[in-house]
A and B are shown apart, each in its own frame.
Chain A
Amino acid sequence: MFADVLISLLDLTIRLSVPLLLACLAGLYSERSGVFDIGLEGKMLAGAFAGASAAAVTGSAWIGVAAAVLAAVFFALVHGFAAITNRGNQIVSGVAINFVVAGATILFGQAWFKEGGRTPQLTGNARFDPITLPFADALRDVPLVGPIYAELISGHSALVYIAFLMVPLTWWVLFRTRFGLRLRAVGENPAAVDTAGVSVTWLRYRAVIVCGVLTGLAGAYLSLAQSPGFVKDMTAGRGFIALAALIFAKWKPVPAMFACLLFGFLEAFGIRFQGTAFPFIGQVPVQLMQALPYILTVILLAGFIGKAVPPKAGGVAYVKER
C-alpha cells in the first residue's frame, strides 16, 4: 500500500517536473550567456498555445511541437533583439513578453476557436501518448524493480524522455564543447570573448535561440501531453518556479534537474494529499496544500541555498569600452 502510494507520488513528480526542467534548462542557456530571462513564463505559454492550436488544426502532435518551438523562438528573438542588439533592459523586455503572451493567447484563442480562449480538446494523434518501454509489462510483477521500471520509468510521453536526456546533454555541451566554453565565458566576461575574436552578439543570440527551443518544448508538453489542449494561463507561474530552481541549482544542469524534481515533488505532494487527514494535524485545507510549493520555494531560496553567484555579466548589455 505504502509502496503504491510512493510510486504514484513519484510518478506524478516526474510528470510535473518536466515543464519545470525544460524551462529551467532554457533559462540556464540564456543566463549563462549573460542574458537574464524573466520571460520563460511567457515563452512557455506561447509554446503551449501555438502547439495546441497547430495540433488541433493538423491533428499531429509533432507538428504541434514544431509550432510551439517556432512560437517560443520568435519571442526569444524578440527578447534577444531588445536585450542584445538594442541593449535594452532585460527585465523589462521579459516582463513585457509575459504580458503580451498572456493577453495574445486568449485573444487569438477566442478568435480562432471560439471556446473562451481554450483550444479544442485534443485526441488521438494530436496528443502525445505514453510510451511503454520494452519488457515493462513482463517485468511488472518482479518485486521492487518491476513497479519502478513499469510505473516510474516506463509509460511517459516522448517529451518526458527528451527533457531528462537534455540534462546530460546540456552538461556535455556546457563543459565539453567549444560552444559551451564560449557560452560560459560570455556570461562572465564578454570583453574577453570579444578580444579573443569571437562575436559576443552571435553567441548570445544562439543561447537565446536554444532558450526559445526549450521553452517551446516545455509549453508543448503542457498542452499536448499533460493536458489535452490549451487553457488560458496554463503555465501558472511555472516559468518563475523554473527561474527559482535555476538559482537554487546555481546555474548548473545536474543540480537543476534535482531542483526541478524537488519543486515537482512538492506540487505532486500537494495534489496527491489534498483532503487527506494526517496524523496529529488532521485535514489540511486545500489552499494550503496548493500553496505548499510556493511557501517552500520562499523558504528554500531565503535560507538554504547559500551563496548563489549568478554569471557576472548577467543582465548587462555588452558595449565596447571607449
Chain B
Amino acid sequence: MADAAIELVGINKSFGAVRANRDIHLKVEPGTIHGIIGENGAGKSTLMSILYGFYQADSGEIRIGGKPAAIKTPNEAIAHGIGMVHQHFMLVENFTVLENIILGAEGAALLNRGIARARGELHRLEQEYGLEVEPDAVIEELAVGLQQRVEILKALYRGAEILILDEPTGVLTPAEADHLFLILRRLKDEGKTVILITHKLREIMAVTDNVSVMRQGQMVATRKTSETTVEELAELMVGRRVLLHVEKGEAKPGEVKLSVRNLTVKDSRGVTMVKDVSFDVRGGEIVGIAGVAGNGQSELIETIAGIRKAVSGTVMLDGRPVDVTGAADPADLRRRGLAHVPEDRHHMGLILPFEEYENSILGYHNDPEYGNGVFLDLKAVEADARDKIAKYDIRPTDPHLKTANFSGGNQQKIVLAREMEQDPGVLIVGQPTRGVDVGAIEFIHKRLIAMRDAGKAVLLVSVELDEIRSLSDRILVMFDGRIVGERGPDATEGALGLLMAGVEQKEAAE
C-alpha cells in the first residue's frame, strides 16, 4: 500500500486552558476524499490550521507522503502541496480573480509575466477540472459559489496535491453545493487528495470515501463511508444517540394569539419584500414559514417584532392592535409578551464583546427584577444568568466569559434562554439552529416543542426544510414576498420544494 498522503501522529494543541486537540492520529489515503466531521468546537478547524501552518502544534508530528514535515507557516504548507479553502474566503474583494490567484505566488518582482502565466494556467485548470471563472472579474461582483471556485483555483495554482476545505457548503445554496461535490469528485479522479471538514452528515455520505469523527478535541473514530450510517456517525459525534426525528404529541391549538392581515413591507432599498401577507398563529401551535432565503421571511418577522416598519396592514397581538406602520417598538412588544429570537444572532441577538450575563438580559434590562431603572442589580442579573446557564445547559458555565468565546450552539442557547425565560405568549424564532451543532439542535427543538405544549404561539422561520417539517403543525410557504400555500406537517419535501421555487403555483395550490 502506498504511503498515506497525510499522517498526523499524536497532535496536541491548547489555547490557554482549552485543549483544542488531544492526541490526534489521522491517516488520509492518497487520491481519496476524506471527511472530518464533528460538532462546532470539536477541534476540526484547529487541526486543519495546524496542518496548514497557521498554528503550531504543541506536540506531535505531521508526515506527508510518509516523510516527516515541519510546517511552521502557510508558505511551508504550500511548498508541501497543501492547499486550503477557508470557511471565510481569503480573497481581496476589490481585486480581480487573477490578482487574487497570483497574490503570494507572483513569481517575480514585476507582475506582468506572473499575470500572463496565471492566465494560461487558469485556462488549463478550467479545462481540466471544469472550474470556469472569468479571470478579469472583480471578486465582489461574483456569486459566493464562484468566489469559492477562485479559492480552489488559488490552491491548485500553487500546485496543491492535497486540498483542505473547511465547511465549504455553509455559504452555498443546495445547487451550488452539489456542483462543488462534482468538482471534488473530479479532483479526486485527477489524483488529488481532498479533506472535507463539515458538520453536515448528508455531505459526508454524499461525497466522501472515508470519514473521521472528532469530538471534544479527540479523534474518536475513522470509518469507510460505505460501511457506516448517518445514525452511527451522529452518535459518534455527540457521544450518545440523537433524536434526528423530533418526538412530539398532537398540537392543541387554542385562541388566536398573533394575527397578521394584509401586511406589506418594503426593505431599505425601497423594494417590496412582503406582499399582502395574512395568517394567524394560535396558542399551542408552531407555525413554520418555509422558503428560500431572501423571499421576505426576514422582513416579515422583523416587522412583527417591531424592528421594521410596515407600509400597510395590521398585526394583532392577543386581540389588541400593534402599530406596525408607525410607533411599534420592540421594547413595548416585549412587555406585551412577544419575544423574538432574531435570525442573525451575531448582528441582532447578541453583543459579542459583552460578557455572557450582560447578554442574558439584553432588551429586558429595564425590567424591575434586574434593577431600579438607573442602576442594575448586578447580583440579581448574575444569579439569573447562572440560572439560565443551568437550565439551558450553556457551556462553559461562566457568566463572566466574553460571549464571542462561546460556540455557535451555546450562543444560540443564550439568546433562546433570554427570550423563552420571560414566559412570552408569542415567540418568533428565526433560524434557530443555523450554525448550531447536532447536540444543541436537539435541545433547541425540544425547547420549542415544550413552548408549544405550554400553550404558547410559536412562529418559526427557517431555511432548513427538515426543521420546518419536523417542528411545525402548519407550514406556510413564502415565495417572492407572498404566502403561496399552506400545508400540513406531513407535506413531502418535494411538494414544499415546488412551492418554494414558485413553480406551478396554481396546480400546487390545488
Contact = CB atoms under 8 A, between A and B. Distances in A.
Q: Do A and B come from one complex?
A: yes
B75 A178 contact: no
B90 A195 contact: yes
Nearest to B102: A181
A192 B110 contact: no
B99 interface: yes
A194 B95 contact: no
Q: Is the interface of A mostly helix, strand, loop or mixed?
A: helix
Q: Which 8 A-B pairs have the closest CB atoms?
A: A196-B104, A197-B75, A192-B90, A178-B106, A197-B74, A195-B90, A188-B92, A185-B92
A185 B77 CA distance: 21
B157 to A, nearest CB: 11
A179 B106 CA distance: 10
A189 B110 contact: no
A192 B104 CA distance: 9
Contact of B100 (A191, A192, A198): A192
Interface in A167-201: 175-182, 184-185, 188-189, 191-198
Given A193-B103, A196-B103, A197-B73, A188 B93 contact: yes
A312 interface: yes
Given A192-B103, A312-B94, 6 more contacts: A175-B111, A188-B94, A188-B95, A189-B93, A197-B78, A198-B75
A166 to B, nearest CB: 19
B15 A192 contact: no
Given A196-B90, A197-B75, A197-B78, A185 B103 contact: yes
Nearest to A179: B109
Central interface residue in A175, A193, A322, by most chain B CB within 10 Å: A322
A194 B111 contact: no
A320 interface: yes
B149 interface: no
Interface string A4-20: 00000000000000000
A181 B106 contact: yes
Contacts of A322: 15
Interface of B: 15, 52, 54, 73-75, 77-78, 84, 86, 88, 90-95, 99-100, 102-106, 108-112, 114, 154
28 contacts: A177-B109, A178-B109, A180-B111, A181-B106, A182-B103, A184-B92, A184-B95, A188-B92, A188-B93, A188-B94, A188-B95, A191-B88, A191-B90, A192-B90, A192-B91, A192-B103, A193-B103, A193-B104, A195-B54, A195-B74, A195-B84, A196-B90, A196-B154, A197-B73, A197-B75, A197-B77, A198-B75, A312-B94
Contacts of B100: 192
A177 B103 CA distance: 11
B74 A177 contact: no
A207 to B, nearest CB: 16
Q: In the complex, which range does the number of interface residues on chain A fall in?
A: 20 to 34
A321 to B, nearest CB: 8
A181 B74 contact: no
Contacts of B75: 197-198
Given A192-B103, A195-B54, A178 B90 contact: no
B103 A181 contact: yes
Nearest to A195: B90
Contacts of B110: 176-178
B109 A182 contact: no
Contact of B54 (A188, A312, A320): A320
Contacts of A184: 92, 95
Contacts of B102: 181
A185 B104 CA distance: 10
Contacts of B99: 181, 185
Interface string A152-177: 00000000000000000000000111
Contacts of A178: 106, 108-111, 114
B166 to A, nearest CB: 11
A320 B54 CA distance: 8
A184 B92 CA distance: 9
B90 A189 contact: yes
B54 A176 contact: no
A189 B104 contact: no
A273 B94 CA distance: 44
A180 B78 CA distance: 22
Given A195-B74, A195-B86, A320-B54, A185 B95 contact: yes
Contacts of B112: 176
B111 A176 contact: yes
A194 B74 contact: yes
Nearest to B84: A195
A63 to B, nearest CB: 31
A290 B232 CA distance: 80
Nearest to A176: B111
Nearest to A186: B92
